[in-house]
Structure 1
Amino acid sequence: MATRDFAVRTENHVANLTGLGTLEFVPEVFGDEFLDGYSRVQEAQRAIGGEEDLTKMDPATLREVYGSMREFLGSLMTPESAERWLRFEVIKGAKLVDHYRSRAQAEEKAAEEGGRVVDKSMRVPDRVLLELLEWTVELYGGGNDRPTTPSSGSSRASRRAGTPGKASSPSKASTRTAGRSAR
């Protein structure tokens, strides 16, 4: 009888956002959940086409793209982190009625209550949002058949091909630089 051990990650991935605290992501996700969420992000990104100039984009479309990225990331977080990451409060008068992780759910409740929605989600720069997205895709969708590595760890450098030599580097050779005098 053959036996094979399969490692399953049990510790959360941790993203340290300097100055904002940490966000914890669940150790493992099921492939279909990951793919369903990520496909929604890709659909939203296709809506902007290849446009790179944000000033030329429709603000509603751009909001949809960012919203889908935030929802996708929130779906991979622990409940405590997701609560900080996505928080839409329904306010009626000056009173908090309820809060949701989905803007759509909050807007539905606000319409029922005659209130308004206030976005109290964690704010991060666009570049950080994109870096988090790339990081989670590497963690969960990297195609590795081994558990993902700790977020605090990094891959070891690849071994250099060949053997170290004793020859001098061309950059260390004595060369004159234009505009400088030799002293």
Structure 2
Amino acid sequence: MQKTFSLNTEPHVANIGEHQLLFEPEVFGDEFMDAYAELRESQQAKGVDLENLADADTDDLRRTMRAVRVFLARNMLAESAEFFTRLDVVQGGKVLESFQDFDEASEFAGQHDGARVVDALRLPSRVIVELLEWVVELFGGGNRPTIPSSGSATASPRAGRRSTGVSPSKASTRTRGR
């Protein structure tokens, strides 16, 4: 018996508005798990729940969303990753400087009155979270990877064979004359 396995060779494409982000055609499981574990560690260290962003501290949320971007970028082709993680320091509507590192960008912004750090590709949080879910589905086999965490895990499927039982309405005795 022989089985042939094919590998994806074309990048996965995420169309976001006028932009296209190109993701790796295939990602090795250990690389994906390492990147996902780093994301979870960062998220837990800040105490941010991606399912409930409303309760998060603004600075912690900003750093967590940055960690999500870095995770996503690790699964992108280089040009898309660079663009997706680029930070611009903006003052009065003008880009003063661009960075890849949040701390460096923040330090530079602190040296210029009224300057702030913004993502080069500004996206609503919901789009970032949707991208995260899509990438996990693509490269994680459709499920969030199971890694040690303080959070509760989803229930395992029940053991045994799935079958359909007899419906109580069909099992009941028919009434004559109806």
TM-score class normalised by the smaller sequence: 0.5 to 0.7
Deviation of residue 20 (structure 1)? 3.0
Match in the other structure for 1:57 = 56
Q: 69-78 vs 42-51, which deviates more?
A: 42-51
Corresponding position of 1:127: 126
User: 2:39 corresponds to which residue?
Assistant: 41
Matched, 1:69 2:65: no
What is the TM-score when the length of structure 2 is the normalising length?
A: 0.61
Residue 29 of structure 1: aligned partner: 27
In terms of mean alpha carbon deviation, does 43-52 or 69-78 score higher?
43-52
TM-score (norm 1): 0.60
Note the alpha carbon deviations across 1:81-134, whole angstroms, 9 max, x for none.
12221113579xx9966x4433245567x59xx788843420111111111000
Distance in 1 between the 2:53 and 2:99 partners?
32
Unaligned runs of 5+ in 1: 145-183
Report which structure shows greater RCO (CA 8 Å, sep ≥6): 1
Find the aligned partners of 1:132 and 1:95 in 2 and give their Cα distance. 26
Cα distance change of structure 1 residues 49 and 83 upon mapping to structure 2, 3 Å threshold = closer
Cα displacement (A) at 1:29: 1.1
After superposition, the Cα gap between the structure-2 partners of 1:77 and 1:59, relative to the gap in structure 1 and judged at 3 Å, is same
Contact 1:28 1:140 in 2 (8 A): yes
Q: Is the 8 A contact 1:90 1:117 kept in 2?
A: yes
Residue 125 of structure 1 aligns with an amino acid whose one-letter code is P
SS at match of 2:138: helix
Kept after mapping to 2: 8 A contact 1:11/1:27: yes
Q: Which moved more, 1:66-75 or 1:19-28?
A: 19-28
The alpha-carbon distance between structure 1 residues 117 and 36, as it changes in their structure 2 partners (threshold 3 A), is farther
